[in-house]
Amino acid sequence: MLRRMVMARVIPWSVWLSVAAVFCLGCEEDKKAANAEPAKPAQEERAQEPVEQSPPHLVIGERGPTVRGTAVEGGKKSGVLEESELLKLRAALTEERKFIEGATLRLIVDRKAKRGWVGAYLRELDSLGAAKVSIATETRKEFQGEHEFLLPSKGKALPDCVMIGQVTEHNGSALWQAKGGTITERGPGLGGPDLAMAQEVFQKNYKTCESDVFITDGANTKDWGFIFDMAAAAIATQEVKVTRALLPSDSQTPGSPAKFD
């Protein structure tokens, strides 16, 4: 007992105060730890971060249209989209409205896609307020593989002298002016329309027509590649100022005035 009293006298009061302060500091840290919110798992934090989407890829393949991975399989025999298929395409494009409205778009189309599918796709882009559309398709080596296509509703403002070039049932060509009238027909060449002969007609017609637009066409069941080639040939024709093409929503009647949506 005496020894403990002696030791208590030996230890200074400043040491006792320091020990007490450290003890109290430890208590305070324990309180803060107890009141702190539990840490969120890293996976949960990542899930809360907003996901930024990029513009969708717009594609029409050999089996039908696609929008950001949503595929719509079209009927090859009819060359048109059934009502349910059209509604599916419309819904997929409507979800992308913020990327379509007022935008310049790029549409990639396979040569084996059907003309009717392309017409339906362009009509939907038109209704959603797209500003411009360029279509990329593999074509003949002497032509460029991507061109601007006016949206279908723009056809109403075209002058009557604009030419329509339609791929016929047997892969020849029927050529006439948008106002209707005389049809110039050309037989098929090797593997498609004889575009060299068609270019001679373009040169004669566009000497007196100041428009830079050519209307390309074909039956809904026709492969898109031939119809794109016709437009590419018009744009590539020397001494012709054509720089853009237009595909009507619906196939035209040869010799009759053009009809647009």
pLDDT at 76: 83
How far is it, in rounded angstroms, from Cα 231 to Cα 26?
A: 82
Q: Is the pLDDT of residue 111 over 90?
A: yes
pLDDT at 240: 92
CA proximity to 227, closest of 109, 115, 149, 132 = 115
8-28 pLDDT tens trace: 444 453 443 344 444 444 555
How far is it, in rounded angstroms, from Cα 79 to Cα 151?
A: 20
Confidence of residue 75 (pLDDT cuts 50, 70, 90): confident
Q: Where are the domains of the chain?
A: 58-246
Confidence of residue 39 (pLDDT cuts 50, 70, 90): low
For helices 195-205 and 224-236, what crossing angle results, to 10°? 50
pLDDT at 190: 77
- Burial level of 41, CB count in 10 A (0-12/13-18/19+)? exposed
The pTM for the full model equals: 0.80
